[in-house]
Amino acid sequence: MSIFSNIIASLTAQKQNTSRVVGIDIGTSSMKVVEILNRNNVLTLTTYGELQLGPYANKEIGQSLTLDAKQEQQALVDILRESAVKATTAVFATPLASSFVTTIHLEAEPKEDLAPRVRVEARKYIPVPITDVTLDWAEIGSEVDRQNKQRDVLVAAIQNDALNRFKILMQFVNLKEPPTEIECFSTIRAAYSTEEEHIAVIDIGAVSSKLYIAKNGLLQRMHRVRAGGAIATKRISTTLDMAFEEAEVLKRNITREDAKFRDVQRAHHSCYERPLIEFKQVIKEYEENFGIELNTIYLAGSGVLFPSLKQYVADSLQFEVKYLNPFTKVAYPAFMEDIVSELGPTFHVALGAALRMFE
């Protein structure tokens, strides 16, 4: 049974009868929220917030960690209060760490119903019992492949334990039981534009870097590599012989004029050399399969803001590279222009999740 509206949200889904929604993104090093208000059919940014999770577990800022239930509840209470969130409706973006997303290739007639086969095939790819997850799927791929009896299916699953954990978390803060989706779908929604049929996003988190390629707003390819901001900070701390927290502060605040910049840059960029090689290959194969050329790569995630990383990605992939700014999809006061441009690449998941309710 497909639960298409629960995990892989449709771009043509019916709008929900609500006016104020908060998108919630709980990462491995920080928590973010974005609240949107539908004001006279204009989606308007009302508030946003970010909270570093390290202190809740007696860890340094920037470290990747897993909070226990009480710590997570306290963090969510704090960020909703400090951000002055008023919404009682939420959309929760679950991290990839508690979910599974893959593409299954099947040989089937163009009009054959794939539903009976997908659940059987999914068992081969999902590393836990199928009864322990909530499963969803959608057919992707080109019409040419379909006519050649090559059927590609995007399969997504969320661990039931994770869903129950998030359900309890939402009840704790008196939010209506929210729809839950995997963070990759929130990211695609934040980046999607009708002006671009095919888009690619590189999302650099605390411990993993992900490449998403989508066609008409539906994820087609995903490639994930263990490389992220926390790993880069660890390498900087080792290279410069300093504590992790000191290296994290240096990474966040360093400028090109700093005497240590070259050493920090070299250590930082070395973490992404292999991922970018793999991403380039995935992009090349996608372009050949669809007979297209991608125009732009969008960068998102807290790890993309390091000075010179944008140019390093552009040089490595030989593509035009832009920071993702999902706030272009909502209205906000003119004086916030510089702020939202800076925040855009890191609030893509929370904003994309909130936008789900207004599709």
More confident residue, 140 or 268: 268
Last residue of a domain, one of 244, 269, 294: 269
pTM score over 0.75: yes
Q: What is the reported pLDDT for 11?
A: 36
For residues 104 and 171, state if they share a domain.
Answer: yes
More confident residue, 99 or 280: 280
For residues 27 and 160, state if they share a domain.
Answer: yes
Spatial distance between the Cα atoms of 200 and 274, rounded to a whole number of angstroms:
18
Q: Is residue 300 part of a domain?
A: no
For residues 33 and 108, state if they share a domain.
Answer: yes
Q: Is residue 200 part of a domain?
A: no
Q: What is the DSSP letter of 357?
A: G
Lowest mean pLDDT among 7-21, 111-125, 216-230: 7-21
Lowest mean pLDDT among 15-29, 52-66, 73-87: 15-29
Spatial distance between the Cα atoms of 307 and 312, rounded to a whole number of angstroms:
10
**For the chain, what percent of residues have pLDDT higher than 90?**
59
Q: Confidence band (pLDDT; 50, 70, 90) for 48? A: very high
Q: Which of 37, 45, 40 shows the shortest CA–CA distance to 18?
A: 37
For residues 108 and 244, state if they share a domain.
Answer: no
pLDDT > 50? residue 14? no
3-state secondary structure of 239: helix
For residues 83 and 187, state if they share a domain.
Answer: yes
Q: Is residue 127 part of a domain?
A: yes
β-strand partners of 108 = none
For residues 119 and 30, state if they share a domain.
Answer: yes
Q: Is residue 67 part of a domain?
A: yes
For residues 354 and 238, state if they share a domain.
Answer: no
Q: Confidence band (pLDDT; 50, 70, 90) for 8? A: low
For residues 26 and 139, state if they share a domain.
Answer: yes
Q: What is the reported pLDDT for 279?
A: 97
Mean pLDDT in the chain?
A: 89
Query: What's the mean pLDDT in 35-40?
Result: 94
Half-sphere exposure of 290 (CA within 13 A, CB side): 20
Spell out the residues 6+ positions from residue 253 whose beta carbon is closer than 8 angstroms to its own: none
Q: What is the reported pLDDT for 28?
A: 87
Spatial distance between the Cα atoms of 64 and 300, rounded to a whole number of angstroms:
18
Query: What's the mean pLDDT in 12-38?
Result: 82
**pLDDT tens per residue, range 106-139:** 888 888 888 888 888 888 888 888 889 988 888 8
For residues 184 and 119, state if they share a domain.
Answer: yes
Q: Is residue 176 part of a domain?
A: yes
For residues 82 and 140, state if they share a domain.
Answer: yes
Question: How many CB atoms within 10 Å of residue 43?
Answer: 15
Count of domains forming the chain: 2
Q: Which helix (H) or strand (E) holds 264?
A: helix 261-270
pLDDT > 60? residue 165? yes
pLDDT > 70? residue 318? yes
Q: Which of 36, 37, 38, 33 shows the shortest CA–CA distance to 48?
A: 33
Highest mean pLDDT among 60-69, 134-143, 237-246: 237-246
pLDDT > 50? residue 13? no
Residue span of the structural domain in which 41 resides: 20-193+324-358
The CATH number covering residue 140 comes to 3.30.420.40
For residues 239 and 184, state if they share a domain.
Answer: no
For residues 40 and 184, state if they share a domain.
Answer: yes
Q: Is residue 220 part of a domain?
A: no
Q: In this structure, are residues 121 and 104 in contact, taking their beta carbons and an 8 Å threshold?
A: yes
First-last CA distance in the chain: 23
Q: Is residue 314 part of a domain?
A: no
Q: In this structure, are residues 22 and 35 in contact, taking their beta carbons and an 8 Å threshold?
A: yes
Q: Is residue 36 part of a domain?
A: yes
Spatial distance between the Cα atoms of 180 and 184, rounded to a whole number of angstroms:
12
